[in-house]
């Protein structure tokens, strides 16, 4: 039986670049691969899967919580690659799990493990629960040389945990960080906010 894979990493860990490289390898071997992504991710155009390195490829499947896989043609497909899998609903992850069983097609999902509050996304949580293989795509912290494990959000150049969990952005908004730098940056932001409040009251 084919497997369901979850390859997770922080922002800036080259997840999409890895996905596009895998797609290219299938192409070189003359095998059919399908690229899927959540419809809500329109940062580089809704229909495009694009890496920060500039490589891109048109998505074959745009997914939302109402997507019905019965309407898609998987004939001859050797592999399904899924970008930004953290934004999938649990039901769509379950549908991919079923595809690996019913059609014997491997599904490789790439995405973030947690949001900027260190809470698991719905899609990521389900992937962690039911994937056959879970792999970490590693990168270093933006502030030191330790391994990054969290995604730190910035607003106007200051670290924050404000805003909705799904808040699209790229390197101008999110930074890969280690545990120590994550908390240090938030503490520094709180100190900065308190100082601004005192200055305004003075």
Q: Which two tokens stand for residue 8?
A: 């997770």
Of the pLDDT bands very low, low, confident and very high (cuts 50, 70, 90), residue 3 is: very high
Q: Is the pLDDT of residue 138 over 60?
A: yes
**What pLDDT is stored for residue 37 in this prediction?**
92
pLDDT, tens digit, for every residue of 6-42?
Answer: 999 999 999 999 999 999 999 999 999 999 999 887 7
**What pLDDT is stored for residue 52 in this prediction?**
73
Are 127 and 9 in contact by the 8 Å Cβ rule? The answer is no
Q: Which two tokens stand for residue 9?
A: 């990493």
Mean pLDDT over 43-64 rounds to 79
- Of residues 162 and 181, more confidence is placed in 181
- Of residues 126 and 39, more confidence is placed in 126
Check which CATH number belongs to the domain holding 150 and give it. Answer: 3.40.50.300
Domain count, the chain: 1
Q: What is the average pLDDT score of the chain? A: 88
The whole domain housing 112 covers 4-201
Are 171 and 52 in contact by the 8 Å Cβ rule? The answer is yes
Of the pLDDT bands very low, low, confident and very high (cuts 50, 70, 90), residue 140 is: very high
Q: Is the pLDDT of residue 139 over 90?
A: yes
Of the pLDDT bands very low, low, confident and very high (cuts 50, 70, 90), residue 66 is: confident
Task: Give me the torsion for CA of 41, 13, 124, 36, rounded to 10°.
Answer: 40
**What pLDDT is stored for residue 68 in this prediction?**
83
Q: Is the pLDDT of residue 96 over 80?
A: yes
Catalytic (active site) residue 65: no
CA nearest 133: which of 110, 115, 114, 104?
Answer: 110
- The percentage of the chain sitting over the pLDDT mark of 70, rounded to a whole number, equals 88
Of the residues 84, 129, 136, 172, only one is catalytic, namely: 84
């Amino acid at each position: 039986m084919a497997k369901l894979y979850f390859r997770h990493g922080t922002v800036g860990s080259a997840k999409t670049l890895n996905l596009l490289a895998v797609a290219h390898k299938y192409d070189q071997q003359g095998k059919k691969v399908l690229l899927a992504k959540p419809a809500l991710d329109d940062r580089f155009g809704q229909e495009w899967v694009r890496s920060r390195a500039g490589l891109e490829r048109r998505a074959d499947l745009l997914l939302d919580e109402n997507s019905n896989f019965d309407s898609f043609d998987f004939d001859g497909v050797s592999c399904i690659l899924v970008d930004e899998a953290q934004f999938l609903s649990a039901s769509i992850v379950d549908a991919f799990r079923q595809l690996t069983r019913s059609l014997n097609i491997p599904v490789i999902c790439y995405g973030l493990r947690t949001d900027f509050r260190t809470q698991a996304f719905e899609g990521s949580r389900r992937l962690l629960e039911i994937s056959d293989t879970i792999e970490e795509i590693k990168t270093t912290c933006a502030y030191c040389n330790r391994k990054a494990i969290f995604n730190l959000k910035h607003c106007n150049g200051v670290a924050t945990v404000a805003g909705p969990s799904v808040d699209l952005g790229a390197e101008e908004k999110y930074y890969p960080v280690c545990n120590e730098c994550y908390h240090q940056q938030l503490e520094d932001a709180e100190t900065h906010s308190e100082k601004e409040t005192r200055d305004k009251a003075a």
